[in-house]
Structure 1
Amino acid sequence: MPKNIKQILIWLLFGFIVYAIITSPERAADIVQAVWDIIATGFKNIGEFFSSLME
C-alpha cells in the first residue's frame, strides 16, 4: 500500500476509536475489558501448555 493511503487509514481508524469512546464510553470499556480477557486467557493457556510439556 502506498504510504499516503496507509497513513490516511490509520488516522481514520484513530478517529473512529475516539468517536466510539466519546459516544459510548460504557460500551468502549466493555470492549476493552473483553479484549483484555481474551489476551490474558491466551497467555495463561500458553503458559499452562509449556508447563505441561516440562512435566
Structure 2
Amino acid sequence: MSKVKKVLWWIFIAFLIYAVFTQPDRAAEVVRTIWDILVQAVASLGRFFNTLLSR
C-alpha cells in the first residue's frame, strides 16, 4: 500500500511542476484562491471561538 501511495505522490508532484511551467498565471491564481479559503476558514474559527467564549 505504501508503494502505491508513494507513486501517486510523485505523480501529483510531477503534475504540479507541469502545471506551473505550462500555465504559471493559472497556477498562481489557484494557489491564491486556496490560500484565501484557508485564511477565511481560520478567521471564521477564530470568530466562532471568540463568540463561544464571550457568552
Same fold (TM over 0.5): yes
Matched pairs, number: 54
Stretches of structure 1 lacking an aligned partner (at least 5 in a row): none
Identity %: 35
Shift in Å, 1:5: 1.1
How does the TM-score come out when normalised to structure 1? Answer: 0.93
Give RMSD over aligned pairs: 0.6
How does the TM-score come out when normalised to structure 2? Answer: 0.93
Map 1:10-29 onto structure 2 (within 5 A). Answer: 10-29=9-28
Instruction: After the TM superposition, list the runs of 4 or more consecutive aligned residues in structure 1 that deviate by more than 3 angstroms.
Output: none
Stretches of structure 2 lacking an aligned partner (at least 5 in a row): none
Shift in Å, 1:6: 1.0
